[in-house]
């Protein structure tokens, strides 16, 4: 097992939603605060080769979490940015890290890389069996290329790159911006505002029939660090909870938790996105002992409570 206590670690996206939890977990493992470097986008543009060289210099470990990401509407409005920014950031950072002889590189992948129609539960060997869902494709394919680069760099250079494939995350500190948020924070905000404004109904995108899998953000941080410590293969590995819930069921759960009694109306002129999502998570458990600990209802309540507290100040 990789001992992290004396390692100098770069965490891109370390001030973000997932990254902030990863940093806390590193500190709890005995990594010194001064040994964790979090580059900020205002100071370091990771699409630039020279900037990537600067941020990896002197680092033992790279955890690459920085990404441009959003929900279906954001994906539809900015496909070129999502493709270019995510592809170039990952490619240049991995190249710089290899040249700097970094010991290990974690490249966070995504469930969006899977084909639109994938046998459920998604297994890692199905990753190349088709084209991703159209609204996710630019982002999903850009991140998918990291797994290609990882395998190529391991083969030619012996560079240790690991690519965990993350499902939709949720939890306290999530992005609640209506222009770029994912489904859970978007729904929480919708119900909160509808209740506050005494609105009789809430409109939700799609039919409600699509399904998703969700992983509590703190569990995701645990999984990433277990992969860092114990997994040494460029074969992508699913990191999720193994649960599946329809968007209709999800909306009902959130409405109940928030005690919103109005009607939920479905706007089927808007896309559902990928029809179903649920991962086979057996490889992560077998290879490095990861299993999600937070029950979905428990995690939802914590997220709703955090949002309510933030908006009561």
Known binding site: residues?
13-19, 143, 182, 190, 205, 212, 272
For residue 1, give Cα distances in angstroms to 192, 287, 290: 45, 12, 14
**Distance of alpha carbon 107 from alpha carbon 162, whole angstroms:** 6
Q: Encoding tokens for residue 281? A: 């998570």
Residue with tokens 């309540």: 301
**Distance of alpha carbon 133 from alpha carbon 118, whole angstroms:** 10
**Distance of alpha carbon 233 from alpha carbon 69, whole angstroms:** 26
Which neighbouring-strand residues pair with 203? 265
Binding site listing for substrate: 190, 205, 212, 272
Catalytic residue list: 139
Contacts of 5 (CB under 8 A, 6+ apart): 29, 30, 31, 32
Q: What angle do CA 43, 45, 102 make, to 5 degrees?
A: 100
**Distance of alpha carbon 103 from alpha carbon 161, whole angstroms:** 9
162 phi and psi angles, rounded to 5 deg: -120, 135
């Amino acid at each position: 097992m990789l001992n992290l206590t004396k390692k100098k670690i770069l965490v891109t996206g370390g001030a973000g939603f997932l990254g902030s939890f990863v940093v806390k977990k590193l500190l709890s493992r005995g990594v010194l605060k001064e040994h964790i470097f979090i580059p900020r986008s205002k100071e370091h543009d990771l699409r630039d080769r020279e900037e990537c060289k600067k941020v990896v210099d002197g680092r033992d470990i790279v955890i690459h979490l920085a990404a441009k990401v959003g929900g279906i509407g954001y994906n539809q409005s900015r496909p070129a940015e999502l493709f270019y920014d995510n592809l170039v950031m990952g490619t240049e950072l991995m190249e710089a890290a290899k040249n700097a002889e970094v010991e290990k590189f974690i490249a966070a992948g995504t469930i969006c890389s899977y084909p639109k129609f994938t046998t459920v539960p998604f297994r890692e060997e199905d990753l190349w069996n088709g084209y991703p869902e159209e609204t996710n494709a630019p982002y999903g394919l850009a991140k998918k290329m990291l797994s290609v680069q990882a395998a190529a760099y391991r083969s030619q250079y012996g560079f240790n790159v690991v690519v965990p494939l993350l499902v939709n995350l949720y939890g306290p500190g999530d992005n609640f911006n209506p222009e770029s948020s994912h489904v859970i924070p978007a729904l929480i905000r919708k119900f909160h505002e509808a209740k506050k404004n005494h609105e009789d109904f809430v409109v939700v995108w799609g039919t409600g029939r699509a399904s998703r899998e969700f992983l509590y953000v703190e569990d995701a941080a645990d999984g990433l660090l277990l992969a860092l410590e114990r997994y040494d293969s460029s074969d992508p590995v699913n990191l999720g909870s193994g649960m599946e819930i329809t968007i209709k069921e999800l909306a009902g759960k959130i409405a109940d938790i928030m005690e919103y009694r109005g009607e939920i109306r479905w706007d089927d002129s808007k896309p559902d996105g990928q029809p179903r999502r649920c991962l086979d998570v057996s490889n992560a458990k077998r290879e490095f002992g990861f299993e999600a600990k937070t029950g979905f209802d428990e995690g939802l309540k914590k997220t709703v409570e955090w949002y309510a507290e933030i908006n009561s100040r």
